[in-house]
Every structure is written in C-alpha cells, then in structure tokens.
Chains A and B, each alone.
Chain A
C-alpha cells in the first residue's frame, strides 16, 4: 500500500490517513526542506476541523528547526521520541507561540509518538501520531509500531522523491535533446524508434518526431537509398545502431542518403552509442546521432573534381609521334576521386630532330599543387622552345618557382633530351631531385643514367649536371616518379631493386605491357590503394629507322 504511489504529496497524504483512527486521533507528517526548515506536508485527523485548523496554524507559525518542539528534536537527533503524557506545562514549553499552546490545550493533546522518517541513512522528516482527549496513552509497543510505519513511509517518500528527481532530469535531458541541432534517435532492442528530436524528423523527412516513433521498424529507411562512400548500397543491418544491438562493435559510418521520392542527396555521419542495463550489462537502447555534412562533402567533391580536371588538363592528351621511336606513358592517380598528386610528364619537339622528354613531381596536393604543376610544365615548354639545354631549363624553372609569392613550392624533374646521331639516339639527362631514369639494354641489363641534382624551388644555388648516353636499337629508357619505387612504403616498398627486376624483362615485352606490369606491381605493394600518384614514361629505339 505504501509503495503504490510515486507522487510524494499523494504518498504522504496516504500515510497520514492510514494511521487515523486506529493508531491515532491526529497524524502530522513534517519534512525537512533543502534549506533546513521544517514544513508540514500532510495532516490527518478523526475530526477534520482539527486537521484544517492545525494546517492553518502551522501555515502562520513555522516550527523552529532549532527549537524544543519534539518534531525538531527528532529530526535533529534521528531518534524517536515517546511522550506518554503531555501535561499543559510540557505543551506550553514546546509551543511555537501562545496561539499554538492554546490550540494544543483546547484540543486536549494527550500522548504522542514522534518517529524519524529515515531512508538511505538520511533523515527526511518526522511522522507524529497523537492521541487527543481521554484516549489511551502510547506505550513502548506503540513506539515500535510507529517507527516501523515511519521507516516504510520514509522509503516510499524517498522513492517518490527519487522518481520525481529522475523525471526532472529526464525532462531536462529531453529538453536538451529536442533542441539539439544534431539529429538524434533512440532505438530499442526491437529496432523501434522510441525517441527522436525535431532535427531527426527534419532529416528523415517526417513532419514531427512522433511520426518517427510511430513508424514501423525499418520503414523509415525504405524512404532512402543509403550508400556508403564507395557507392555500395547499405541495408539496415549495416547501420551502427543496429550493429550495436546485434552485439557488434560499430564505429562512425559515413553514408550518402538519397531520398527516393525526390532524389535529394545528403551526406551523414552516423554515430551510435549503447545504453546498457546497469545490472546485466545488456544493451537496451542505441542512441544514434546523425551529423549532416552535406555542405562540407559537396565542397570537398567540388574541389577534388576541379583538381582532377586540372590534372587531366596538365597531362598531354596524346604524345607526339617520333619516327623510329616508340613512346608510351602511364599515369595512375592515388584513389578514385583523388586529390591531385602533382605528377606530370610531357614530350615535345625542340626544333627539327630534337625532342625533350620530361617527368616531374610537385610537392603537395590539391588545387595549389595543380597550379605549380601548370607553372612547371609551361615554364619548361617555353624554356625548351627557346633552345635551352636540359640543365638550363631546370635552372629556369627553379628561378620561376623562387619568384612565386609563397616561394616554398618544390618540385622534382627529370629531363631527357633526344637527338638523332647516325643510327643511334643521343640522350642528354638532367636531374633535379628526381630518381634517375633506367636504361635497359637488349639483354635486359638495367642501369641508372644521370647524376642526382638538387630539387627545385627551395635551395639556392641548385647544382645540376648533365650526362650523355646513347640509346641503341632495341634499348629501352624508363622515366618514373617516386610513387612507383615507394609504392607500399614504409612497410613493403616496391624499391629500386624490384623495379630493376621488372625492367630486366623489358626486351621480351611491348612497352605498353612493361608499363602495365610495373603499375600492377606498384598497386600490389600498396594493397590496391596507391599512397601517391605514379607516372611512367618510356621510349624504345627501333634502330635503323630512328627519327628519320
């Protein structure tokens, strides 16, 4: 009976009425307020007039918490008090003023028991039972009974208080969640949405949070096509909340949500955390937080698309044809929608029977790197047309990079000048911070040609030396960027040695096949995902027909 209601005021009224008339003619329950004052919260009496009058009187004269009134004493000490007899001298000594004394004497206060209301080692107040007029006095056995009643009442009151505190916290929490800009839903073990805020309703296309909590499990998801970052369709079980409820670990998930009805697209990060049963540890709920990053993602995609387009524009649409010499190039970007890695290559004529081949790598990524790549390529083209030597062209590019406002862009380049000389082709190689090209003879012997020189754009002065070598019929020259040799770094880099081994097979395969084999090996080392772009540029001399 005492545990039926969880509302404190109702509970105490019930307790007080329970004692009347069998145990008492008058019952008063006082509670200690947070500020230390004593407040009567329930009064019950056989004569309702008395109860009403007492309530009015107590309203005018509050009990002095530090005074001699038995209720104050019991609350202070925590010990019960038995007053078998209450002579008028006693009544006067405990009265809160003459009006109070008169009330007690007039109504024939006869005997009383005051028991502390204690729960969880805290005194919450006191329960007083009184006999009036000519009734019996209370004895020790009554004291025990009243104490037991007080103990149970205190527990009920305490539960009611805890419940009301809990409600308050819940309401406060709900007010916070409702007003959060992030969309939040809570799903239970059956996958039902038990809570949603307005942001969640907006995001998931519902008019109110109620529409979400009333929806069948899984039915909300049907309104959307849900894709992962790679464009693979995801089902409900892949959502972090559902995975948590299935007992799996679930990290944040980036999803692309397309509203089936309208085609509207959103990028969301979905994070879920479990709410566990404090006793069993079982997961009761999953709290989902949806962060809408559509704007950020759009900007990112736009930037990467611009970069990608720029990169394409920076590579020659097709390589020029050189009589007697086969030229092949291969370029592989790191990632699908890659940020620009800054690798570039080009082949261009320099006069009648001279050609300039270049391959390079600009430091950094994104539109800025693309800008530097454009500068590098066009500066080198202009320098080539003005008839500069490879080393001279590299110095020109260095100066151009140095005169950039930022002055910190760096780039590595390998330049090879091709000149016809009787049956063979003379190569003049100049390196600026770039790996040396590989010369592969007809037997498959591989050697690096050129001398390492300073990278461009940051160190003054640059030191670049040219080296000359002849390319005979059937021999192959390979220019590459370090995305090739360092594919798989640092754990299992492809490395120069492996690259040399791959090149040793060059005589037995077409140039295109050779480049494909190298790309394949680089991808395999990188676990399929390239860390850096790779660029390859190769040429092979046909011999007698060379450059004629």
Chain B
C-alpha cells in the first residue's frame, strides 16, 4: 500500500491482473505517487485495473496520469481498464471524452471478452 495526505492506493495481485484501488483525491499532489505505483506494481501484469470506486476526486493532472498509463500498457501489450468512480470522477471522464477512450468495467475482477 502506498499513501500520502488525501490519497492512498491499495494494490491487489491476482493471477491474471493487478488491481490498484485508489482512495481519496487524485490531483497534482498525488498524481506522481500513482505514476510510480503503476510503474512498479503493474510492470509485469497481464492486465492493469484502476479501481476508482473509492476515488472521490480527480483533476486534469490525474487524468493525464491515467491516460499515460493506458498508453504505456498498450505499448507493453497489457490490458488496461477502469471501474466507475464517484459522480465527480464520472462527470470529468464524460466531459473530457476520456471515458469513451478507456475501457470501463463494472467490477475490478470482470473478465474481459
């Protein structure tokens, strides 16, 4: 687990994926921590899931990290998906068009087809 003020990441490994469950606020201050954790925890995973159900807030810096992680996963041939976050998170994903660009799944353990 990695954490700082207002933001915390729980990491769960399962055979086919690593799930990073984000809690709190993902912004300019906490984005570097997520970037670092995705790099270290997700490097060898077949699939990376960012579980956003406990994420209260995200700003554009947070979005940028999520988008960069998605791009990095594609380069490595990994699957990358998100779960739905709070209303604020969902709204930002909708307004920015990022939601339709990323794979959104209902539960962090959902099997992709």
A339 closest partner in B (C-beta)? B28
List chain A residues, Cβ under 8 A from B78: none
Q: Which of A365, A463, A486 contacts B97 (CB 8 A)?
A: A463
A489-B88, A490-B88, A532-B59 are contacts. A459–B97 as well, Cβ < 8 Å? yes
A541 within 8 A of B: no
Identify which of A433, A463, A490, A532 gathers the most chain B CB atoms within 10 Å of its CB. Answer: A490
Q: How far does the alpha carbon of A74 sit from the alpha carbon of B64 in the complex, in Å?
A: 79
A412 within 8 A of B: yes
B40 to chain A, nearest CB (A): 20
B62-111, CB < 8 A from A: 63-64, 67-68, 86, 88, 92, 94-98, 101
B6 to chain A, nearest CB (A): 9
List chain A residues, Cβ under 8 A from B96: 412, 433, 452, 454-455
A141 to chain B, nearest CB (A): 73
B60 within 8 A of A: yes
Q: How does the 8 Å CB contact mask read for A199-231 relative to B, with 1 for contact and 0 for none?
A: 000000000000000000000000000000000
List chain A residues, Cβ under 8 A from B67: 410, 458-459
Identify which of B28, B63, B92, B96 gathers the most chain A CB atoms within 10 Å of its CB. Answer: B96
A444-493, CB < 8 A from B: 452-455, 458-459, 462-463, 482, 486, 489-490, 493
B97 closest partner in A (C-beta)? A454
B40-75, CB < 8 A from A: 56-57, 59-61, 63-64, 67-68
Q: Which of B68, B86, B88, B97 contacts A455 (CB 8 A)?
A: B97
Contacts between the two chains (Cβ within 8 Å), count: 65
Q: How far does the alpha carbon of A532 sit from the alpha carbon of B27 in the complex, in Å?
A: 11
B92 closest partner in A (C-beta)? A482
Q: How does the 8 Å CB contact mask read for A171-200 relative to B, with 1 for contact and 0 for none?
A: 000000000000000000000000000000
A364 within 8 A of B: yes
Q: How far does the alpha carbon of A435 sit from the alpha carbon of B96 in the complex, in Å?
A: 8
A169 to chain B, nearest CB (A): 38
List chain B residues, Cβ under 8 A from A412: 60, 95-96
B66 to chain A, nearest CB (A): 10
Main SS class of interface, B:
helix
A491 closest partner in B (C-beta)? B56
Q: Which of B60, B86, B95 contacts A490 (CB 8 A)?
A: B86
A377 within 8 A of B: no
Q: How far does the alpha carbon of A493 sit from the alpha carbon of B88 in the complex, in Å?
A: 9
List chain B residues, Cβ under 8 A from A454: 96-98, 101
List chain B residues, Cβ under 8 A from A431: 95
A94 within 8 A of B: no
B4-41, CB < 8 A from A: 25, 28
B62 closest partner in A (C-beta)? A363
Question: Would B88 and A453 count as touching, CB distance under 8 A?
Answer: no
Question: Would B98 and A455 count as touching, CB distance under 8 A?
Answer: yes
List chain B residues, Cβ under 8 A from A361: 60
Q: How far does the alpha carbon of A3 sit from the alpha carbon of B108 in the complex, in Å?
A: 75
Q: How far does the alpha carbon of A463 sit from the alpha carbon of B97 in the complex, in Å?
A: 8
B101 closest partner in A (C-beta)? A459
Q: Which of B28, B63, B88 contacts A486 (CB 8 A)?
A: B88
Q: Which of B25, B28, B68, B95 contacts A433 (CB 8 A)?
A: B95
A131 within 8 A of B: no
List chain A residues, Cβ under 8 A from B59: 486, 532
List chain A residues, Cβ under 8 A from B64: 363-364, 408, 410, 458
Question: Would B57 and A410 count as touching, CB distance under 8 A?
Answer: no
Question: Would B63 and A435 count as touching, CB distance under 8 A?
Answer: no
Question: Would A452 and B101 count as touching, CB distance under 8 A?
Answer: no
Identify which of A412, A458, A463 gathers the most chain B CB atoms within 10 Å of its CB. Answer: A458
A interface residues with partner B (beta carbon < 8 Å)? 361, 363-365, 408, 410, 412, 431, 433-436, 452-455, 458-459, 462-463, 482, 486, 489-490, 493, 532
15 contacts between A and B (CB under 8 A): A363-B63, A364-B61, A412-B95, A433-B95, A433-B97, A433-B98, A434-B95, A452-B96, A455-B97, A458-B68, A482-B95, A490-B25, A490-B56, A490-B86, A532-B59
Known: A452-B96, A489-B88. 4 other contacts (CB 8 A): A412-B60, A436-B95, A452-B97, A490-B88
B interface residues with partner A (beta carbon < 8 Å)? 25, 28, 56-57, 59-61, 63-64, 67-68, 86, 88, 92, 94-98, 101
